[in-house]
Amino acid sequence: MEFGGQEIHESTLIHVQPTPFFRIAYRRADLAPSEQRTYRIAYWYWEFDHVPDDWGEINDEVDEIWTATEFVAKGLRARFDVPVKTLFPGVLLAPYEREARSAFGLPEGVFTFVFVFHMMSVMERKNPLGLIRAFRQAFQPDEPVRLVLKTSFGERHPEQFRVLEEAANQENIVLINEVYPSSRVLSLMDACDAYVSLHRSEGLGLTMAEAMLMGKPVIATNYSGNTDFMDASNSLLVDYELVSVGKGIPPYSEDSEWAEPSVDHAAQLMRKVYVDQEWSRALGATAKRASLNRFAPEVAGRRIARRLADIQLLRSKTMPR
């Protein structure tokens, strides 16, 4: 997207990651900074409750930081001395068509769990192997239940994808490695009965929010950004232990910590959703009701408008007359 010209408003929202793009954001946007610096707001995502050391180098170049969840805000507040505000974004389901399971090669009349991720997002963090272990513990191969793992870019990570393929080599586990348009990803999620994520850490957890908007029961690790909108009233949260990453997995350092979700507890919750399907559908309906207003873009827009108005008022009181 090209904007051209020069900043004309009092505040500028820079929605790119601090490294390596923040310092070249204006050039990439074909936008010239105004002679008198505007109030610069950085909107950042991250997957841990602490941020890399080199982010601090940008401290003097921002006046305020926004982020989507309190989980991320915690690390940002520890690193920066500017205001850090949690402004949850709107989540809206893109238009999609409802499709029969057969369109995805899935059988009808079989209870189906789904998890969506892509290999570029660090497979260890997304933890599909833990999900496979939980599924195998919860169900026998001959039971009428399926687990669908929808991923993409497996060819860019051949060794990891080979491990994933070997782990998923079971008749009732379906591994899809294709790049779908967002509408088709949503169609796949809609065609399944329940969503499950045994992630080790998430900055937001967008697919979980989307599944809730669809009215699906959602099972997820009780840790990180998703806990801003998931609780015991609207979802099933999996116990975990905090563990060290243990080895450098770019861009994450070896001394970082993330969750190790309980395979036993996840298996129990998956079994519960499968055995009592009427109850699980009711839970999904509750999740949808709770999410429709919370995730509404209009609600997010009002939050942002209020904050911008506060900034304008603050600046009007501090600017020289």
125, amino acid identity: R
| pLDDT band at 319; cut points 50, 70, 90 | low
Question: For residue 19, what pLDDT is reported?
Answer: 83
| pLDDT band at 132; cut points 50, 70, 90 | very high
Task: Provide the percentage of residues in the chain whose pLDDT is more than 70.
Answer: 98
Nearest to 233 by CA among 276, 189, 285: 285
The per-residue pLDDT of the chain, averaged, comes to 93
Reduced to 3 states (helix: H, G, I; strand: E, B; else coil), residue 6 is strand
Cis amide leading into 251 (omega within 30):
yes
* C-alpha distances in Å from residue 239, one per residue of 49, 54, 70, 313: 18, 32, 19, 44
Residue that is written with structure tokens 């010239």 in the block: 32
Question: For residue 320, what pLDDT is reported?
Answer: 56
Reduced to 3 states (helix: H, G, I; strand: E, B; else coil), residue 203 is coil
Question: For residue 250, what pLDDT is reported?
Answer: 78
pLDDT per residue over 270-306, tens digit each?
999 999 999 999 999 999 999 999 999 999 999 999 9
The CB density around residue 251, as the number of other CB atoms within 10 Å, is 13
pLDDT per residue over 15-72, tens digit each?
998 888 888 999 888 888 888 889 999 999 999 888 888 888 888 999 999 999 999 9
Task: Provide the percentage of residues in the chain whose pLDDT is more than 90.
Answer: 79
Q: Which two tokens stand for residue 186?
A: 């949503």
pLDDT of 316 over the 90 cut: no
Which DSSP symbol is given to 167?
H
Reduced to 3 states (helix: H, G, I; strand: E, B; else coil), residue 321 is coil
pLDDT of 164 over the 90 cut: yes
Q: Which two tokens stand for residue 289?
A: 């009701």
Beta-carbon contacts of residue 121 (< 8 Å; ≥ 6 apart): none
Reduced to 3 states (helix: H, G, I; strand: E, B; else coil), residue 12 is strand
Question: For residue 314, what pLDDT is reported?
Answer: 85
Reduced to 3 states (helix: H, G, I; strand: E, B; else coil), residue 174 is strand
Nearest to 16 by CA among 61, 53, 48: 61
| pLDDT band at 205; cut points 50, 70, 90 | very high
pLDDT per residue over 239-264, tens digit each?
999 999 988 787 888 888 999 999 99
pLDDT of 321 over the 80 cut: no
Q: Where are the alpha helices (DSSP H) in the chain?
A: 25-28, 70-79, 123-126, 128-138, 158-167, 182-191, 206-213, 263-275, 277-294, 297-318
Question: For residue 4, what pLDDT is reported?
Answer: 64
